[in-house]
Amino acid sequence: MTRKSLVRWFILAPVFAACLYPILLFYESHTESFKFIKNSIELSRPVQDEVGSIEKVSIDPIGGFSDKFAGSDHFVHMVVDVKGTRSQVTVHVFATKTNGVWLIRQATINGRPIDLTNKSMGSGSINR
């Protein structure tokens, strides 16, 4: 590899990555996993108590997301920003989908554990 092509690669690779990341965030915000997590957060009394009426739920661009698949099982870690009428919080969520049923395994608000484990939903229950 010549020096000129190496310099070009070091310039173009970060530009390409910077352009690709918003596309990945847009894609993830339209997935079944995000829709489940968003719905669970919007129905959560503890989250509403913290932020007031929920105005917006979005994937945190810094914290992001992680999707993993093992056979038919799906594992998701997502960092979500929740904006309400009183305040804004960051929610870290670990959810799984097993046998077509989503379940929140663990969730925290700004580092404090929150119980969202009672929220489960079959994959057919999500409005697309």
| Residue 80 placed within a domain | yes
Say what the pLDDT of residue 64 is. Answer: 75
Lookup: tokens for 17: 């990555």
Q: Mean pLDDT throughout 39-64?
A: 90
Whether 40 has a pLDDT exceeding 60, the answer reads yes
Query: For residue 15, is it within any domain?
Result: no
Q: Is residue 126 within a helix (H) or strand (E), and if so which, with residue range?
A: none
Which of 10-19, 28-37, 65-74, 114-123 has the highest average model confidence (pLDDT)? 65-74
Query: Residue 36: which H helix or E strand, with range?
Result: helix 32-42
Residue 22 has pLDDT above 70, yes or no: no
> How far apart are alpha carbons 2 and 23 in whole angstroms?
31
Strands (E), the chain: 54-59, 65-70, 73-84, 88-98, 101-109, 112-114, 120-122
Show the domain range for 49.
31-125
Q: Is residue 60 part of a domain?
A: yes
pLDDT at 65: 78
Residue 24 maps to a domain:
no
Q: State the average pLDDT for the chain.
A: 81
Positive or negative: CA dihedral 55, 58, 62, 64? positive
Q: What is the pLDDT of residue 23?
A: 60
- The tally of domains found in the chain comes to 1
